[in-house]
Amino acid sequence: METFLNSIHGRYASDKKTILGLCMNKYSYALSDLARELGTSIPKITRIVTEMVNEGYLVEVGKLESASGRRPSLYGLNPDAGFFVGVDVNKDFLIVSVTNFPGRQVALVDNIPYTLESTESSVKGLCKVVLEAVRKEKIDPSRVRGYGVNLTGRVNRRTGYSYSYYIGEEKPIAQLLEEGFGQKVIVENDSRAMAYGEYMAGVAGNADTFLFLNVGWGLGMGMVIDGKLFYGKSGFSGEVGHFPLLDNNRVCQCGKMGCLETGASGSALHRIVLEKLSSGRSSILSSAYRKGEEISLDSILEAVEKEDVLAIECVEEIGSVLGRAVAGLINIFNPDLVVIGGRLSSTERYLMPPLRSAVNRLSLNLVNSDTQIKVSSLGKSAGAVGASFLSKSRLLSELS
């Protein structure tokens, strides 16, 4: 596999990598600044930058204003020199986001039908589907410098193993994906990637310490602490859905009892709505329920949008339980910000008031007065956006 870094060779390879790393962090440089950063002479930097312009990595992005009247050129990344692809793997569809070299989103493709299974052919199939989507967006896959792929559940980013997909095989899933894409791949937990998306391009840009709650079918959390994603020893941090907080005697999908997820998640909402329908409560879902049709989480979220009172009541119930958990998290982390994201964030109007009320009631005032609570601004695309930026950050760490 010829990775992007291997493709930079020749006499000045190491200086070129340093210059790319500098330009990925900062918009533009004059030759004199680059010479100072690299501790080298202006003639040598001029030679290297000229080569990099000819090779398509850098472009002149403007002129520096100067008092002397001479206006030296400023150089920055050529936006078309490289792309990073983020893939969010959902139960039966993929979302793909493409970010260019300087970090601007150039494509977002939602709802690509695909169901990932734990087989080698399914993982390779995913690569094909993603590459096709990238080509359709008129992006040449040979210019993609890295991929980030989000998977639900426990993922060890360092070893590349997922504990939900392709389990127990000798090769980690990250290696299979690299073979399929022909480039470096990072696998990441979906909630953590969503948190990173909000941090790099969403609602959390100015927060140094923040918590992202992914309220989907389950409940996950991504944490940025002191400006860095927090992983824990094996990368499994953030399993807040399995916090044994509730005294409800309910068995969680993890096999334990009273996990937070059994009262504050999409699956909890689904269960509560069905319980109320079976007890005879009226709703716009009643007739479908009586006919024995399947009531999906999506149909419940649609009912909320149509202002169905029963569905709204159930969302409020979830908001109140979630708020209790957020109060506890605020007391522990004293974060700048808590972001509520995931599928249930579409019910913001009804989810947030009881959530905020529980936080006000239950968290320590001195601690919570420093913390803002916001709803995700990237919505469904947070994970794919985050994955593309994680891939960019990986390359950046290898360049510096």
For Zn ion, the binding residues (CB under 5 A) are: 242, 252, 254, 256, 259
Compute CA distances 310 → 275, 282, 302, whole Å: 11, 7, 12
Q: How far apart are CA 19 and CA 28, in angstroms?
A: 10
In whole angstroms, how close is the CB of 259 to Zn ion at the nearest point?
Answer: 3
Residues 6+ apart with CB under 8 A from 34: 19, 22, 45, 49, 75
* Residue closer to Zn ion (CB basis): 109 or 321: 321
Query: Residue 265 Cβ, how far from Zn ion at the closest point, in Å?
Result: 10
What's the burial of 149, exposed, middle or buried (CB within 10 Å: 0-12/13-18/19+)? buried
Q: Which is nearer to Zn ion, 242 or 343 (CB)?
A: 242
Smallest gap from Cβ 258 to Zn ion, in A, equals: 8
306 and 268 Cβ atoms separated by less than 8 Å: no
At its nearest, how many Å lie between Zn ion and the CB of residue 256?
5
Q: Quickly tell me which residue has 């391009």 as its tokens.
A: 201
Closest distance between Zn ion and the C-beta of residue 262, in Å? 7
Q: Nearer to Zn ion by C-beta: 259 or 352?
A: 259
- CB of 267 vs Zn ion, minimal distance in Å: 11
Find the Cα–Cα–Cα–Cα dihedral 130, 133, 134, 139, rounded to 10°.
Answer: 160
Assign 3-class secondary structure to 157-183.
CCCCEECCCCCCCCCCHHHHHHHHHCC
| Neighbouring-strand partners of residue 59 | 76
Cβ closer to Zn ion: 91 or 256?
256
Report helix, strand or coil for 59: strand
Residue among 242 and 276 whose Cβ is closer to Zn ion: 242
CB of 257 to Zn ion, least distance (A): 8
Cα gap 355→347, rounded to integer Å: 12
Q: Give 163 or 353: the residue with its C-beta nearer to Zn ion.
A: 163
C-beta separation of 127 from 112 below 8 A = no
For residue 238, the minimal CB distance to Zn ion (Å) is 13
* Under 8 Å between Cβ of 49 and 19: yes
CB 30 within 8 A of CB 73: yes
Q: At closest approach, how far in Å is the CB of 216 from Zn ion?
A: 14
CA–CA distance from 85 to each of 182, 186, 199, 301, 316 (Å)? Answer: 13, 11, 17, 29, 37
Question: Closer CB to Zn ion, residue 26 or residue 256?
Answer: 256
DSSP annotation string for 302-351: HHHHTT-HHHHHHHHHHHHHHHHHHHHHHHHH--SEEEEESGGGGGHHHH
Query: For Zn ion, which is the closer residue by CB, 195 or 252?
Result: 252
**Which C-beta is closer to Zn ion: that of 228 or that of 256?**
256
